[in-house]
Chains A and B, each alone.
Chain A
């Protein structure tokens, strides 16, 4: 069964149609790369998946459960929106770390707040906090940040910040982790460390959607590639299909800008 099914998603801002009839599915444990020129709607798509925007039409299903059906009233969109969001994680281009918290606190904050909602929180408070702390430390260690846990974001490099942000998103064990151009705000020499982390997540079969302008990375990290053009899916397929044998003229044109 697919872990994610998106059907006929549509979104306009005012008169501008930003997403038009977007449909795709994802199998668990696979990585999907989304490429496309600026303004083609990639960010908007990720924002819809994370319930930061409400689509005008379409369906989003995770593990067979319909999280969003734009045909139902707006109040349905708001209902349990927090829980629906937890199916997805989002790593922003600009990190959006919380500046007043250390790396470790950034990673553990949301998990601690969620633990308070557990019925046995009061009785097992210290056990919860301890395991959350350990989980956070383990995630940061995985990101290669074991000696940066007590640092504040302004004391970290861009690449380190983005790795903290990835750990923060992973902390809540989302079904699908989304990346919106995770390396676009980084100096070229720092992109490598972030891409390595994402690649290692892919190697461990983390289900991921990666929006990126790093074509060679998009190609070899992904199991499936979508090329978007002005709000529509222009072409999709395996990395080899899209990158080596594109069917659409528009895809060839786009890729030619990246040929080196």
Chain B
């Protein structure tokens, strides 16, 4: 098969793979951002035990490789507990990967949110209090936008890392874009022994991170009207 014949076939496969990459990316954000906020609120709460518990979880999750977490979450229920909750097919792998990614990224987001909230000078809170504002008003009207502005750079870093981290789901054979590119080495749809599709996946990552970089730069500019 000539390169010109291979190209559309490969592109079709990579597109399908990228769709799975994108779905994992999206579901991780949708799950990890709210969960991270909850964890952050818990981490600055009054309850010492809760704080200690969250801090331990965050330490374990951030202190160990995401790849191991993926493997444990995917294999542990079936192989050790004998209750395979994930099911066999691609949807089972996707569910397991989603859970692993959401937990992992929630812990990173949690630390960013916590730092952002605690980084706001106490004077802001006190100014709100002496003006008769309610705690919720102080949070939403005074602090929130300042927190968002402060955490935007680390959050955008984390999100760009997430795009590339989705490729780790390859380890449990999730059919994301790396998996799709690799399939042409072993042989798929009449093409085998070619490696360029695997290299070509890099273009997708670059395009995706490029778009997000531009988007975040715009957001940061939008919030540059105050300091």
Contact = CB atoms under 8 A, between A and B. Distances in A.
Q: Do A and B come from one complex?
A: yes
B47 interface: no
A32 interface: no
Contacts of A99: 146, 226-227
A82 interface: yes
Given A113-B141, A152-B225, A98 B124 contact: yes
A30 B226 CA distance: 38
Counting contact residues on chain A (CB < 8 A from B), the size range is 20 to 34
Interface in B113-143: 121, 123-124, 126-134, 137, 141-142
A154 interface: yes
A52 interface: yes
Nearest to B131: A110
B189 to A, nearest CB: 55
Contact of B126 (A96, A97, A114): A96
Interface of B is mostly: helix
A72 interface: no
Contact of A92 (B123, B225, B226): B123
B145 interface: yes
Contacts of A96: 121, 123-124, 126-127
Interface residues of B, number: 21
A85 B141 CA distance: 19
Contacts of B126: 52, 92, 96
B123 A109 contact: no
Contacts of B130: 50, 52, 85, 88-90, 169
B131 A92 contact: no
A94 B132 contact: no
B131 A172 contact: yes
A97 to B, nearest CB: 8
A52 B126 CA distance: 7
Contacts of A169: 130-131
B226 A154 contact: yes
A50 B123 CA distance: 14
A90 B133 CA distance: 14
Interface in A145-173: 152-154, 168-169, 172
18 contacts: A51-B129, A85-B130, A85-B132, A92-B126, A96-B123, A96-B127, A97-B127, A98-B142, A100-B146, A109-B131, A109-B141, A110-B131, A113-B134, A113-B141, A153-B227, A169-B130, A169-B131, A172-B132
- Sorted nearest first, the 3 A-B pairs with minimum C-beta distance are A110-B131, A96-B123, A96-B127
